[in-house]
Amino acid sequence: MRKIGLLTSGGDSPGMNAAIRAVVRTALYYDMEVYGIRHGYQGMIEGDIFQMKTTDVANIIQRGGTILKTARSDAFKTDEGRKAAYDQLQKHGIEALVLIGGDGTFRGAVEFFKQYTIPAVGLPGTIDKDLSGSDFTIGFDTAVNTAVEAIDKIRDTAEAHDRLFVIEVMGRDAGYIALNSGIACGAEDILIPEIMTDIEDVLCRIDSDERRSKSVHILVVAEGDEFGGAAEVAKRIIERFPKIDTRYAVLGHIQRGGSPTYADRVLASRLGYAAVLALRENKTQVMTGIVNGDITYTPFQQVIKTNAGISTDMIEMIRVLSV
């Protein structure tokens, strides 16, 4: 194998650049050529492809975003689109692919690989950490720390005013960011999609805290909680407790950016390095991951969203620690 293509797809996450760097440098070390494909599958279709040198990845390990850019591609869901994409790979002589992204990135590729035979290895790049096959995903650690820094700041002003704050963090299908940022910030309550929200329970705990003169409350809500987002929750609290000074905040897109933490950089470096070694060992259509500290490989078809590790025990702990 001499020429590999590399792309990032789906939502961007901090550490993707560190992964790109690791793939490029490892491949060059083993005398492969690397072709960067811009804007994910869409760029593959459009032939937005360029050869990458070691200087292209100099000084990017610490930068958020992705220098290869990312995009959605409706065209790639069509036969014509996939054909055009394959033609571009052929045209550039690309013999294998490295794909960095979330579950959609790998699911999106399954159909492609049914039709066109080309070796491919994936890396889990998503802030949501909700992929089977890896204990951590590239970007999660940074996203939680970003959320924690923001919630710490909001707590300052909540304390100053004796306010109740409902804070919405990212996580459409999974509560990992909410759970971990909530524990880390000493949140009084955490609402996540994995656990049915009983709003009466939430209100009851607020009432009980109020009676004990606990004047500051932080509730962390995952955006994907089935009850609704921070605005919804705040509305219900205000209805019930009009005297409590209640506000809400949606942290939003800041959680996707920023310089990656060491953990995300090291994870991205290890996985990028492993992905190229995997290609050399003729592994294909697998996502590299880290399980219990060791590199693992999971077939693309088996990479699904998962909520492993979120249990009612953790919620119980939160309640105990916020007394």
C-alpha to C-alpha distance for 167 and 244, rounded to whole angstroms: 16
| Interface pick for a second copy out of 165, 209, 237, 298 (rule CB under 8 A) | 165
User: Is 223 assigned a ligand-binding role in the annotation?
Assistant: yes
Binding of residue 253 to a second copy (CB under 8 A): yes
What is the rounded CA–CA span in Å between residue 282 and residue 276? 10
Which one of 105, 126, 137, 269 is in contact with a second copy (CB under 8 A)?
269
Closer to a second copy at the Cβ: 86 or 217? 217
Binding of residue 150 to a second copy (CB under 8 A): yes
Q: Where are the beta strands (DSSP E) in the chain?
A: 3-8, 33-37, 49-52, 96-101, 120-124, 164-169, 189-191, 217-222, 246-250, 286-291, 294-299
Cα separation, 36 vs 74, in Å, equals 20
Closest CA relative to residue 196, chosen from 221, 225, 229, 233 = 225
- Give the number of residues in contact with a second copy, rule: CB under 8 A: 75
For residues 59 and 312, which CB has a smaller minimum distance to a second copy in the complex? 59
Task: Show contacts with a second copy in window 67-126 (CB under 8 A).
Answer: 69-71
Draw the binding track, 184-223, toward a second copy (x: CB under 8 A; -: no contact): xxx-------------------------------------
Stretch that binds a second copy, among 84-92, 192-200, 203-211, 260-268 (CB under 8 A): 260-268
Options 20-28, 104-112, 198-206, 232-240: segment touching a second copy (CB under 8 A): 20-28
Residue 317 sits in the site that holds a second copy (CB under 8 A): yes
As measured in angstroms, the least distance from the Cβ of 159 to a second copy is 5
Q: What's the CA gap between 232 and 220, in Å, rounded?
A: 13
Nearest Cα to Cα of residue 101 among 80, 57, 70: 70
Calculate the alpha carbon distances from 44 to 82, 109, 198, 247, 272 in Å.
Answer: 9, 12, 46, 45, 20
Among 74, 79, 114, 320, binds a second copy (CB under 8 A): 320
- Determine the Cα–Cα distance for residues 174 and 245; give it in Å rounded to an integer: 29
In one letter, which amino acid is 56?
D
On whether 311 is known to bind a ligand per the annotation, the reply is no
Q: Identify whether 87 is a catalytic site residue.
A: no
Phi, psi of 220 (to 5 degrees): -105, 130
Residue 11 in marked binding region: yes
Stretch that binds a second copy, among 13-21, 78-86, 94-102, 103-111 (CB under 8 A): 13-21
Contact 39, 72 (CB under 8 A): no
Q: Which residues are catalytic?
A: 128
Question: Could you tell me which residues are annotated as the binding site for Mg(2+)?
Answer: 103
Question: Could you tell me which residues are annotated as the binding site?
Answer: 11, 21-25, 72-73, 102-105, 126-128, 155, 163, 170-172, 186-188, 212, 214-216, 223, 247, 253-256
